[in-house]
Amino acid sequence: MELIRPDWPAPTSVKACCTTRSGGLSTGPFASMNLGDHVGDDPGAVAANRERLRASLGLPAMPVWLRQVHGCDVAVLGDAPAPCEADAALARAPGTVCAVMTADCLPLLMCDDLGMRVAAVHAGWRGLAAGVIDAAVAAMASDPARLLVWLGPAIGPDAFEVGAEVRAQFVARDPAAAQSFRPSGDRWLADLFGLARQRLSRLGVSRVYGGEDCTYAQPERFFSYRRDGVTGRMASLIWLEPRT
């Protein structure tokens, strides 16, 4: 199983990783480490993949799988019922595993520099425009200068073509967002990583890492909905190590 570990100076109590498409039991367009149970894959294979992930990482608990809806609600795990409808999850207690699933949308992992809070965020263009990053930073209830954020694999700026109406939503909220769009005929190429960094900077978060892997351009490593249509989902996970 290939896993991506964030290269960031997080406290040792913070554990995090992102899966790729390799190392599971799913077949066909879901091959092989599909963790999404809502995409048409064999439920038995998905359950086996999730258990394989838990065992491989030695997780303290099964991840809390959200029902993601491209919104900006944040589930505070332990307070919210699970599974719940949200696009970000936050944990304050050790042993609770936050998770978001993606296949082109941008996953963000967050922690504070004391290792007291962690969060996972699912940010496609709709969530970014709606303010999911703003909501997650607010839910962390920490000085933004003390937060660390890692940007996981997402569709890159050379592959994510959108209509003028998408660009207009971002520019209406913040004119500086225009710098994250390049013309492509009568459409635009959008930079999700750039839009996320810009929003984080506006919020006072300066310690931002990652943002290097394009899901669309690496079919051997990543699922991509924009590239394949029917496809699986990767997971980005973060948790606090239980105290011994």
Of 74 and 80, the one with more pLDDT:
74
pLDDT above 80: residue 133: yes
- Confidence band, pLDDT 50/70/90 cuts, at residue 82: low
Q: How many CB atoms lie within 10 A of CB 73?
A: 18
Overall average pLDDT of the 163-179 stretch = 97
Give just the sign of the alpha carbon dihedral 141, 144, 148, 153.
positive
Token pair in block for residue 223: 């699922």
Contacting residues for 189 by C-beta, under 8 A, at least 6 apart: 157, 158, 159, 160, 161, 162, 181, 182, 183
Mean pLDDT, residues 128-134 taken together: 97
Domains for the chain: give ranges and CATH numbers. Answer: 3-156+211-240 (3.60.140.10)
Q: Report DSSP letters for 149-213, one per residue.
A: EEE--B--TTT-EE-HHHHHHHHHH-GGGGGGEEEETTEEEE-HHHHHHHHHHHTT--EEEE---
Q: Per residue in 54-77, pLDDT tens?
A: 999 999 999 999 999 999 999 999
Confidence (pLDDT) at 210: 98
Strand order in the sheet with 207-210: 74-76, 88-91, 118-123, 106-112, 147-151, 207-210
- pLDDT over 70 (residue 80): no
Mean per-residue pLDDT, 138-162: 98
Q: What are phi and psi of 111, to 5 degrees?
A: -150, 165
**DSSP code for 38:** S
Is 90 exceeded by the pLDDT of residue 83?
no
- For residues 243 and 127, the model is more confident at 127
Neighbouring-strand partners of residue 190: 181
pLDDT for res 36: 98
Average pLDDT over the chain, rounded to an integer: 96
Long-range (24+ apart) CB contacts under 8 A made by 160-163 are 160/104, 160/125, 160/189, 160/190, 160/191, 160/192, 160/216, 160/226, 161/187, 161/188, 161/189, 161/190, 162/125, 162/187, 162/188, 162/189, 162/190, 163/187, 163/188
State mean pLDDT over 11-19. 97
Tokens of 28: 């066909």
Separation of alpha carbons 20 and 204, rounded Å:
31
Mean pLDDT of 142-155: 98
Q: In what order do the strands lie in the sheet with 187-190?
A: 161-162, 187-190, 181-184
pLDDT at 41 over 80: yes
pLDDT of the residue at 79: 74
pLDDT one-digit tens code per residue, 199-230: 999 999 999 999 999 999 999 999 999 999 99
Tokens of 187: 């459409």
- Statement: residue 14 has pLDDT above 80: yes
Q: How confident is the model at residue 139 (pLDDT cuts 50, 70, 90)?
A: very high
Query: pLDDT at residue 191 above 90?
Result: yes
Does residue 134 carry a pLDDT above 90? yes
Q: How confident is the model at residue 172 (pLDDT cuts 50, 70, 90)?
A: very high
Q: Provide the pLDDT for residue 78.
A: 84
